[in-house]
Amino acid sequence: MVNEAGAEASAANELEDEAAARATAEAVADAGHRVPTRRISFDESLAELPKHFVAEGDLIMSHVMASLSSVFPDGEDFFVRSVRHYRDQITDPVLKREVSGFIGQEAIHGREHRALNDRFAALGYPTKKLERFTKRGLEFRSRVAPPISNLAATAALEHFTATLAELLLDKEECRAVLGDSAVLDVMLWHALEEAEHKAVAFDVFRAAGGSERLRIYTMRFTRYGFIVGMTLQTIATIAFDPAVREKGVLRRSLKRLNQSPFANREVWQMLKAYERRGFHPNDRDTSALVAEWREKLFGAEGSLNDRLAG
C-alpha cells in the first residue's frame, strides 16, 4: 500500500511537472507573440512628404514631430544597451523572450526613424544635427552613469513613449493632429510596438534589483528634463524656418497647440502616475487597444501589410 501510494504521488508530481513545463512553454510562446519583431520599411511612402506635413500644415507640430523623431534613433540604441546589459541575468523565460522582442523592435524603430530623419533633413529640418547631439549626450551618460541608473532612465522614458502611444492609438483627435501623411503611418506602427513592449524595461529593472526610490527619483528628473529639452529644441528649430515670418502662421499654430490633445492635464497625470509606489505599466490595461490596432495595421486587411519586408 505504501509503495502504491508513493507511486501515485510520484506520478502526480510528474503530471504537475509536465503541466508546469507546458504552461511555461505556452507563456514563452505568448510572450513572443506579444512582442513580435516586424521587418518593415516606409522609404517609398516618405518620398513625397511636404515640408509642413501634419494636419493643416501646422508649423509648430511639424517641428515637434521632427524634433521628437531626431531623438529616437540614438535613444532606441541607448534603451537597447541599457536592457541588454542585464539580459544574461534574467532567469524568467517569459521575460527573456520579451527582451529579445524588445531589442528587435527597438532596433527597427531606430532604423526607420533614421530614414525619416533623412527625409526631414532634405526638407530643411536640422534633424541630423539633433541626432548627433543626442548621440553624444547618451553615449556620455552610458559611460559615466551606473548601468542600473541607465536602466531606470530607460524604464522612465519607455513610460513616456507608452503614454504617447496610448493617446495616439486611443484618441481620434490625437491622430487627426498628424493628418493623413506618411508620418502618421510611421507613428501608428511605432505606437503599437511601444504599447506591446511597454513593461519590458520596467520588468528588467525590477529583476535587476532596481529600487522604488531610484525608479521614482529618475522619473521626476526625466519628466521635467525631457519636456523642457524637447521644448527648447523645438523652439530652436522653428526659429530657422522661414515660414515663422509669414503673417499669422505662428499665431494660428500657437492657438492649435493650446488646444492640442497631447498637451493637457490628463496627459500630465498619466505621466505622473509612474511616480506612485507600487506602480506597474500594466496597471493601465491596453491589451484591447493593442489587439484592435494589430488587426487594423497587420491583420488580413491590414493597412501596413504592404510595408512589411517579409
pLDDT of the residue at 34: 83
Mean pLDDT of the chain: 90
Percent of the chain's residues with pLDDT above 90: 83
pLDDT at 14 over 60: no
Instruction: Please tell me the distance from the alpha carbon of residue 171 to that of residue 163, in angstroms, as a whole number.
Output: 12
Instruction: Please tell me the distance from the alpha carbon of residue 191 to that of residue 304, in angstroms, as a whole number.
Output: 13
Q: Tell me: the pLDDT tens digits for 31-80?
A: 445 899 999 999 888 988 999 999 999 999 999 999 999 999 999 999 99
Considering the segment(s) 47-307 as one domain, its CATH architecture is: Orthogonal Bundle (1.10)
Cell 490633445 locates to 261
Instruction: Please tell me the distance from the alpha carbon of residue 40 to that of residue 38, in angstroms, as a whole number.
Output: 6
Domain parsing of the chain, residue ranges: 47-307
- The residue among 80, 25, 23, 58 whose CA lies nearest residue 204 is 80
Asked if residue 53 lies in contact with residue 179, where contact means CB atoms within 8 angstroms, the answer is yes
Q: Tell me: the pLDDT tens digits for 128-187?
A: 999 999 999 999 999 999 999 999 999 999 999 999 999 999 999 999 999 877 999 999
Residue 21 — pLDDT band, cuts 50, 70, 90?
very low
pLDDT at 19 over 70: no
- The residue among 153, 167, 176 whose CA lies nearest residue 195 is 167
Q: Tell me: the pLDDT tens digits for 291-303?
A: 999 999 999 999 9
pLDDT of the residue at 12: 47
Q: Tell me: the pLDDT tens digits for 195-253?
A: 999 999 999 999 999 999 999 999 999 999 999 999 999 999 999 999 999 999 999 99
pLDDT of the residue at 23: 39
